[in-house]
Structure 1
Amino acid sequence: MKKFKEIFQNANYVKLFFANFTSQMGSTIGLTAFMFYLLDRFSEQPFYATLTELMFSVPTLAVFFLVGVFADRLDRQKIAYYCDWISALLSIVLLLTIIIGWMPLVFAVLFLRSAIQKFFFPAEHAMIQGILKNEDYTTAAGLNQVVMGLFMLFGNGIGIFVYWTVGVYGAILTDALTFIISALLIRSCRIPEEVRLPNGSHKLNDLNIALVFKDFNLGMKYILQHKLLSALLVGFFVFGVVNGGFSVMPIFMLKYKLEPQSYEEYSILLGVIFGAGVLIGSFVASLLTQKIKLYQLIIAGLLISGSFIIAASFSGNTLTFLVLLFAASFGLPLVNIAIGGWMPSIVDPKMMGRVQGWISPLMMLSQSLTLGFIALSFPDILKVEMLFWMVGGCLALVGVFYSLVLPKLTKKSEENVKTHSLEKRSFQS
């Protein structure tokens, strides 16, 4: 609790924290309401619900080579600020396209809004790295995981409640309002220039195609030269598969197997139970980071979550299904907090944007491929249980892979840090 109190004494961090919270809220409520709107309107065509999730992930593949370079070369605060304002404007445009009712145009606007939002996180994450101390990174990762837990706990419920009360139009207007609040919080921050512009001042006109691809390739070389980062990147690719499957499969399980008549109500309960598991797991993980090694937390979390997700596929009733998903959700924060606290300490602040510029597209590529595969094969080829086998199996396999490589790479990384520290002291003497 002392660590949480200390970190919230940093005014800039508090504003960035709540800006991230409200920006995520702007994505969650409208997207959830829109998915249930499509499930109601096109009940016999689950393809549309999957396509909605695709419009959240695919845009990364269109802008992946830009987001990291922008975050490292341009003013990070302005990037986050303008992302929110443009997203708010596009939410209004999205509302108008839904009123028109032409679905290709609706998905095109959803695609564009999602593409703009992809620039927000690398810039915001890099600013947080710059304003916090090294020992605060794990605490910040824990707080981010708590926020994620709150969204899982209340996000779907709020989205469905808003959809029931004011409809999909009201939900999207709520989106626009939360983006505006986030933008105002970003603007009120007093971020030092060396954090906003770690590589010096550049204008948008300076970022020609040659420079963009040079920086993007530099990020790839940086990752490949650091074996620990490379190993973590393999895991991120598989996490995209998990995100893609998990974004639709619990709802599909309820709608098409367990609770076809009342899946909306049970979806709220599912969100509450899953979010509660993530919240409890977040507090436990935050305590464990002080006592055991981060890579051990990652491996344990992957194996716990993977095992219970596979077990959930065999559920014969809704109660068993919810209990098993609660157990699976408990393991996820162990992974997220450990990686979230680890990454800033092993990545050069001047390279954070470009490293994130590789992580996000890899995750979104695998997420998009997974969602595309589900859209084409479910329910004709793939049964809902198979989705759980695929996702749980991926988590368990990564857990086994990490148990083989991370202990050695961590030891080698720690030895390199000690050697560098001794050389630095010798030079200073």
Structure 2
Amino acid sequence: MDSKEEDTVKEQSRSVGYLQLIRANVDFRYLWSGEIISLFGDWFNLIGSAALIAQLTGSGLAVGGLFVIRMLAQFVGTQVGGVAADRYNRKRLLISTDLARAVIVLGFLFVRSPDHVWLLYALTILLMAISGVFFPTRSAILPDITTKQEIGTANALSATTWSVMLAIGAALGGIAAGQWGIYQAFAIDALTFLVSAGLISRMSYEAPPTEEAAGLVAVAQDYLDGFRYLRREPDVLFITLHKGALGLFIAGGIANVAMARVSQTLFVIGEGGGTGLGLLFAIVGLGTGVGPLLSRLLTGDRGPALRRSLIPLYLLGSLGLAVAATLASFENVMLGMFLRGFAVGGIWVFSTQLLYQLVDHKLLGRVLSVEIAMFTLGSAISAAFAGWALDATSLELDGLFRLMALGGLIPALLWLAWMRLGRPKEAEPTPSPDGEEWRLIE
């Protein structure tokens, strides 16, 4: 390859900057703006529902049950969402799921007494099942509306947006629930879904032509094809399991239950501890936001660097949990949660970026849905365990945090063994929606 060709390859593989992406890509700007608005409301709902059920029942097991239901319902939804994202118009799926969620959230306004807790659970199941369709669809549409130079930046920015809105939405959601009232938080959540749907509707996205067969048999075949692909590609399967490890050991349900218990029993700030819980979610959001941005300065979008970075990130997450386990003060817990969030954000973004590099566009929705499903399943299991252990055994909060810290070492060791003894797959050309083959930076 002569110097001119080398310069061309380098130019084609160079990632764009964050501001450049937002300014130049109108479709991404609409999708991203909708994401900001809807995520803002999501955290109002999470803080509000957790504070409401704690207020109505006074049971840690009931709060843990809420997180279990949220995770299991989303797990079921992703099984449908992955196939739907690969078969149908992704833009229309995003709009319809936003509208449906707006209607469902309004039902939370009718939960007024302990006798209505069943309604809160039922509405949560519907809300999270539909969210299970929305999230893999939103992830799968990114390669449709970005170029090969933009996809890495878009992925990192999308994940950072989730984190920033966790910080802002959780903090404001905690203030709204603790100072203004829980039901106002639910009303704001419903409004954000409507605004998100309106923004996404302005995208000029056109679905790539497909020749998918109709009928339940064909849908079931598509669903099974995703698992057959993962069975043939053990490296891709291993990468999809990283989010499951996060949910099971250091993030997700077990962390949510632990933070809820800290805010409701040890450091109670605001009505029902809602403000304190919001602050804890906010500091986690700050960590998950800066984590991938700072880590990506060292790794870029290079596959080998992304793989290697996962191990120190797991170790950092365990360190943060060990710091929180001292329970010396609320500020100490916040520091530990920041470090944990930093690690979780990096692992989340880098594992997804590896999948963007390795997985064919036609299968991407199903693979991403498995990734999200593993996280929700792991979160549900860990939330159930945490709620049960804190209520029915002698395990205390400090012991739960230490257990999580040790758990974070398990995926780090397994991933190290896979990189040394397994068969990691190099990034291969992946067909873009228009049929042109491309590859990301290796």
- For the aligned pair, the TM-score class normalised by the smaller chain equals 0.7 to 0.9
* 1:138–1:338 contact (8 Å) kept in structure 2: no
Aligned position for 1:12: 27
Cα RMSD (Å) of the superposition? Answer: 2.6
* 1:237–1:366 contact (8 Å) kept in structure 2: yes
Q: Which residue among 134, 137, 160 is the counterpart of 2:174?
A: 160
Counterpart of 2:326 in 1: which secondary structure? coil
Describe the shift of the 1:133–1:392 C-alpha distance in structure 2 as closer, same or farther (beyond 3 A). farther
Instruction: Report the alpha carbon displacement of residue 89 of structure 1 after superposing the two structures with TM.
Output: 0.8
- Say yes or no: does 1:244 pair with 2:253: yes
Q: Which residue among 242, 246, 262 is the counterpart of 1:253?
A: 262
Q: What is the CA deviation profile of residues 377-398 of structure 1, one whole-angstrom value per residue up to 9, with x for unaligned ones?
A: 3233132223223332232211
Instruction: Report the alpha carbon displacement of residue 121 of structure 1 after superposing the two structures with TM.
Output: 1.3
Give matches, 1:326-365, under 5 Å. 326-365=338-377
Percent sequence identity over aligned pairs: 19
User: What amino acid maps onto 2:396 in structure 1?
Assistant: K
Aligned position for 1:427: none
Aligned position for 1:310: 322
Q: Which residue among 158, 182, 197 is the counterpart of 1:144?
A: 158
User: What amino acid maps onto 2:293 in structure 1?
Assistant: F
Q: Bigger shift: 345-354 or 379-388?
A: 379-388
* 1:74–1:201 contact (8 Å) kept in structure 2: no
Describe the shift of the 1:398–1:135 C-alpha distance in structure 2 as closer, same or farther (beyond 3 A). farther
Describe the shift of the 1:417–1:64 C-alpha distance in structure 2 as closer, same or farther (beyond 3 A). closer
Q: Which residue among 79, 86, 102 is the counterpart of 2:100?
A: 86
Counterpart of 2:328 in 1: which secondary structure? coil
Q: Which residue among 299, 312, 335 is the counterpart of 1:289?
A: 299
TM-score by length of 1: 0.87
* 1:72–1:353 contact (8 Å) kept in structure 2: yes
Aligned position for 2:50: 35
Instruction: Report the alpha carbon displacement of residue 363 of structure 1 after superposing the two structures with TM.
Output: 2.0
Q: What is the CA deviation profile of residues 21-68 of structure 1, one whole-angstrom value per residue up to 9, with x for unaligned ones?
A: 22222321122112112223333x122222222232111343343211
Aligned position for 2:86: 72
Aligned position for 2:406: 393
User: What amino acid maps onto 1:60 in structure 2?
Assistant: Q
- Say yes or no: does 1:270 pair with 2:270: no
Counterpart of 2:17 in 1: which secondary structure? helix
Describe the shift of the 1:269–1:64 C-alpha distance in structure 2 as closer, same or farther (beyond 3 A). closer
User: What amino acid maps onto 1:287 in structure 2?
Assistant: L
User: What amino acid maps onto 1:239 in structure 2?
Assistant: L
User: What amino acid maps onto 2:56 in structure 1?
Assistant: R
User: What amino acid maps onto 1:225 in structure 2?
Assistant: R
Aligned position for 2:10: none
Counterpart of 1:135 in 2: which secondary structure? coil
Describe the shift of the 1:122–1:37 C-alpha distance in structure 2 as closer, same or farther (beyond 3 A). same
Instruction: Report the alpha carbon displacement of residue 218 of structure 1 after superposing the two structures with TM.
Output: 0.4
User: Structure 2: which 5+ residue stretches go unaligned?
Assistant: 1-14, 431-436, 438-442
Instruction: Report the alpha carbon displacement of residue 98 of structure 1 after superposing the two structures with TM.
Output: 4.2
Counterpart of 2:149 in 1: which secondary structure? helix
Q: Distance in 1 between matches of 2:274 and 2:103?
A: 29
Q: Bigger shift: 373-382 or 243-252?
A: 373-382
User: What amino acid maps onto 1:300 in structure 2?
Assistant: P
* 2:253–2:380 contact (8 Å) kept in structure 1: yes
Q: Distance in 2 between matches of 1:318 and 1:387?
A: 16
Q: Distance in 1 between matches of 2:67 and 2:298?
A: 33
* 2:37–2:196 contact (8 Å) kept in structure 1: yes
Q: Bigger shift: 392-401 or 67-76?
A: 392-401
User: What amino acid maps onto 2:54 in structure 1?
Assistant: L
User: What amino acid maps onto 2:51 in structure 1?
Assistant: F
Q: Which has the higher helix share?
A: 1
* 1:285–1:337 contact (8 Å) kept in structure 2: no
Describe the shift of the 1:60–1:179 C-alpha distance in structure 2 as closer, same or farther (beyond 3 A). same
Q: Which residue among 235, 244, 260 is the counterpart of 2:242?
A: 235
Q: Which residue among 99, 103, 119 is the counterpart of 1:105?
A: 119
Instruction: Report the alpha carbon displacement of residue 229 of structure 1 after superposing the two structures with TM.
Output: 0.8
Q: Distance in 2 between matches of 1:372 and 1:268?
A: 21
- Say yes or no: does 1:405 pair with 2:418: yes
Aligned position for 1:21: 36
User: What amino acid maps onto 1:14 in structure 2?
Assistant: R
* 1:65–1:213 contact (8 Å) kept in structure 2: no
Describe the shift of the 1:102–1:321 C-alpha distance in structure 2 as closer, same or farther (beyond 3 A). closer
User: What amino acid maps onto 1:34 in structure 2?
Assistant: S
Describe the shift of the 1:75–1:261 C-alpha distance in structure 2 as closer, same or farther (beyond 3 A). closer
Counterpart of 1:377 in 2: which secondary structure? helix
Describe the shift of the 1:377–1:332 C-alpha distance in structure 2 as closer, same or farther (beyond 3 A). closer
Instruction: Report the alpha carbon displacement of residue 14 of structure 1 after superposing the two structures with TM.
Output: 0.8
Q: Distance in 2 between matches of 1:100 and 1:265?
A: 22
Aligned position for 1:421: none
TM-score by length of 2: 0.85
User: Structure 1: which 5+ residue stretches go unaligned?
Assistant: 419-423, 425-429
Instruction: Report the alpha carbon displacement of residue 73 of structure 1 after superposing the two structures with TM.
Output: 0.9
User: What amino acid maps onto 2:409 in structure 1?
Assistant: A
Q: Which residue among 160, 171, 186 is the counterpart of 2:200?
A: 186
Q: What is the CA deviation profile of residues 180-226 of structure 1, one whole-angstrom value per residue up to 9, with x for unaligned ones?
A: 011111111111331xx5x3467xxx331x22221111001111211
* 1:83–1:120 contact (8 Å) kept in structure 2: yes
Q: Bigger shift: 403-412 or 66-75?
A: 403-412
Counterpart of 1:413 in 2: which secondary structure? coil
